[in-house]
């Protein structure tokens, strides 16, 4: 998924609104409460009450906040990437959540704390299956693990992650997580954290951490790899089937690595890549120019400075992965054209296509999700592209029935599994189920059929996904071409992208395994004959 930074911040508000209230599970501990959104007056009252409360200075705020965020992601339906959006997502309410979950608050987070929270939350989610395996192995009795309070489990996961995957001094990890469990739950919980973490440190120091053997039949091997690389078993089996063992492992390692980001200078606002580079140099953010796209640069660190420097708020650039930018290259938008973006929100590709029009032509952006479409509209205004973007809130599957207009180019960036973007979407691997794949494929077929009716004779239809799964990509296009033999044929993407991204069939495909540092994405360019 390509998440526009600003869109993310807005989306977070939506995600929060969607979950107006949620009850913490009863196993949480004595201070189990119902989370409820309060109006602004109530928020102020809460803040005043907090001032009257005892602030716990013994526990680092980043550990307390990380534990609470993990609870919200697992039980409250919050999205990791949004909450983790460089520490922004939770807004002023962060300490309110901490206090209601843990029964105390800590000092406010500074920039360093925010970075730590981002690392710990992202890493703990990614490594969840492996961390649970370690914790279970150290519990001795499986019932202790299965009956564990959710908050205690989060604290243990954080501690294990810090010990095994981060270079944090072990005394600090043990002391603070023990303290956190004691104060927020009960003394016995602190003792359990103490026992498990100290054992883990011993095992790590003697190089004897528990580890499943990759042996036996395919299923058993997939199960072991799923633990070692912390992914659902069904995904591992699917990737072994399509990519083979070695590449499946490389892919999982990529998914577990720290994501890098790219920024697109917004030509629509007359802001060039050189100007973006100067601003980044002033902000002391290290960057690399994209070798594939003229408007893009890559950054590995420094997103916080980009946000604070106002570049996104001023609409001067967007956070957009190059893999998504290359889909727009395949569409090849030209000034004066009429373009339909069928599944447009939150608008990453719409905005890039609109910027390519140089003020002439129109991108019509339709989406079934009103909230996401509103974000697109707001961003278009911010980026001064609203004159070349029209939004339509509708279901694409019924849109052709009421609309007889056809377009020069139609982009269908279909809803998909997102299996190409798991490095950026830490929690997505746990939210996707294998059953989703069949439903998504059906929807993709229906959407392709609908989109195909909206292309002019001689016009172009581009089908794209941010998936690396052939069943959502090549197979959907092959099935479509069978249904529309007389109307559509493949137009090779070779004129629009470099050879490293070109498949044998003439499609665009970026693979995290092959095209290092890009997310996975796919696009097929089809021409309408009649």
Ligand X SMILES: C[S@@+](CC[C@H](N)C(=O)[O-])C[C@H]1O[C@@H](n2cnc3c(N)ncnc32)[C@H](O)[C@@H]1O
CB 389 within 8 A of CB 350: yes
The annotation status of 110 as a binding-site residue, yes or no, is no
Does 345 bind ligand X (CB under 6 A)? Our answer is: yes
Among 59, 71, 105, 396, binds ligand X (CB under 6 A): 396
Minimum CB separation from ligand X for residue 381, in Å? 16
Strands 288-289 and 338-341: unpaired
How many CB atoms lie under 10 A from the CB of residue 255?
A: 25
Is 367 annotated as a binding-site member? Answer: yes
Helix (H) or strand (E) holding 217: none
Binding footprint of ligand X, residue count (CB under 6 A): 19
- Preceding omega of 506 cis (within 30 degrees of 0): no
Give the DSSP letter of residue 312. T
Tell whether residue 415 is a contact of ligand X (CB under 6 A). yes
Asked whether residue 343 is marked as a ligand-binding residue, the answer is yes
Stretch binding ligand X (CB under 6 A), from 185-193, 227-235, 273-281, 362-370: 362-370
Query: Please, are residues 183 and 103 in contact by the beta-carbon 8 Å criterion?
Result: yes
| Contact flag: residue 337 with ligand X (CB under 6 A) | no
Judge contact between 461 and 452, C-beta under 8 A. Answer: yes
Is residue 500 close enough to count as binding ligand X by CB under 6 A?
no
400 binding ligand X? (CB under 6 A): no
Positive or negative, the Cα torsion across 269, 272, 278, 283? positive
Residue from 95, 196, 297, 343 that binds ligand X (CB under 6 A)? 343
- Using the rule CB under 6 A, is 348 a contact of ligand X? yes
Q: Nearest approach, Cβ of 14 to ligand X (angstroms)?
A: 12
Structure tokens at 10: 């807005």
* Residue 80 marked as a ligand binder: no
- With CB under 6 A as the contact rule, the residue among 344, 356, 440, 462 that binds ligand X is 344
Instruction: Measure the CA–CA gap between 68 and 100, rounded to whole angstroms.
Output: 9
Residue 76 found at the interface with ligand X (CB under 6 A): no
413 is in an annotated binding site: yes
Among the listed residues 92, 205, 395, 475, the single contact to ligand X using CB under 6 A: 395
Q: Does the footprint of ligand X cover residue 305 (CB under 6 A)? A: no
Residue of minimal CB distance from ligand X? 343
Give me the half-sphere count of Cα atoms (radius 13 Å) on the Cβ side of residue 495. 5
Question: Is 160 assigned a catalytic role?
Answer: no
Annotated binding-site residue? 349:
yes
The answer to the question of residue 367 lying near ligand X (CB under 6 A) is yes
The nearest distance, CB 327 to ligand X, in angstroms, is 8
| Residues 416, 472 contacting (CB under 8 angstroms) | yes
DSSP-derived pairing of the beta strands 338-341 and 362-367? parallel
Which H/E stretch holds residue 245? helix 245-255
Coil vs helix vs strand at 347: coil
Q: So which residues are the catalytic ones?
A: 466
Annotated binding site for S-adenosyl-L-methionine: 343-349, 367, 395, 413
Chain residues in the site for ligand X (CB under 6 A):
2, 324, 343-349, 366-369, 372, 395-397, 413, 415
């Amino acid at each position: 998924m390509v998440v526009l930074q600003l869109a993310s911040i807005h989306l977070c508000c939506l995600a929060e609104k969607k979950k107006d209230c949620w009850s913490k599970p009863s196993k949480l501990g004595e201070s189990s409460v119902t989370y409820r959104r309060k109006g602004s007056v109530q928020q102020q009252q809460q803040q005043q009450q907090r001032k009257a409360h005892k602030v716990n200075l013994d526990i680092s705020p980043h550990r307390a906040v990380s534990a609470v965020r993990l609870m919200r992601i697992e039980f409250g339906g919050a999205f990791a990437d949004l909450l983790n959006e460089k520490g922004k997502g939770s807004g002023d309410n962060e300490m309110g959540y901490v206090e209601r979950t843990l029964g105390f608050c800590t000092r406010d987070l500074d920039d360093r704390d925010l970075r730590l929270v981002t690392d710990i939350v992202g890493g703990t989610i990614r490594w969840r299956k492996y961390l649970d395996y370690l914790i279970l192995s150290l519990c001795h009795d499986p019932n202790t693990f299965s009956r564990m309070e959710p908050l205690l489990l989060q604290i243990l996961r954080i501690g294990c992650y810090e010990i095994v995957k981060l270079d944090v001094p072990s005394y600090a990890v043990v002391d603070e997580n023990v303290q956190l469990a004691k104060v927020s739950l009960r003394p016995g919980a602190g003792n359990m954290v103490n026992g498990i973490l100290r054992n883990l440190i011993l095992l790590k120091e003697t190089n004897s951490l528990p580890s499943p053997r990759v042996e036996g039949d395919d299923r058993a091997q997939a199960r072991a790899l799923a633990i070692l690389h912390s992914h659902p078993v069904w995904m591992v089996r699917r990737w072994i089937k399509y990519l083979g063992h070695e590449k499946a492992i490389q892919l999982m390692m990529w998914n577990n690595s720290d994501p890098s980001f790219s920024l697109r200078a917004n030509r629509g606002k007359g802001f060039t890549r050189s100007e973006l580079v100067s601003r980044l140099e002033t902000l002391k953010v290290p960057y690399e120019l994209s070798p594939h796209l003229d408007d893009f640069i890559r950054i590995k660190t420094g997103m916080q400075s980009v946000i604070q420097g106002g570049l996104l708020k001023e609409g001067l650039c967007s956070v957009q992965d190059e893999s998504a930018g290359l889909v727009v290259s395949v569409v090849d938008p030209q000034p004066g054209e009429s373009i339909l973006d069928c599944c447009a929100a939150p608008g990453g590709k719409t905005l890039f296509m609109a910027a390519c029009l140089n003020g002439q032509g129109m991108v019509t952006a339709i989406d079934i999700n009103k909230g996401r479409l509103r974000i697109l509209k707001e961003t278009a205004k911010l980026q001064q592209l609203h004159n070349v973007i029209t939004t339509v809130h509708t279901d694409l599957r019924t849109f052709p029935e009421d609309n007889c207009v056809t377009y020069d180019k139609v982009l269908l960036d279909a809803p998909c599994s997102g299996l190409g973007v798991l490095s950026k979407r830490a929690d997505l691997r746990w939210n996707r189920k294998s059953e989703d794949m069949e439903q998504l494929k059906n929807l993709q077929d229906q959407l392709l059929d609908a989109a195909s009716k909206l292309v002019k004779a001689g016009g172009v239809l581009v089908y794209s996904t941010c998936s690396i799964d052939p069943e959502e990509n090549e197979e959907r296009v092959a099935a479509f071409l069978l249904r529309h033999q007389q109307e559509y044929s493949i137009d090779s993407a070779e004129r629009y992208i470099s050879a490293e991204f070109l498949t044998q069939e003439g499609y665009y495909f970026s693979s995290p395994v092959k095209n290092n540092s890009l997310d996975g994405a796919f696009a097929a360019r089809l021409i309408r004959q009649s």
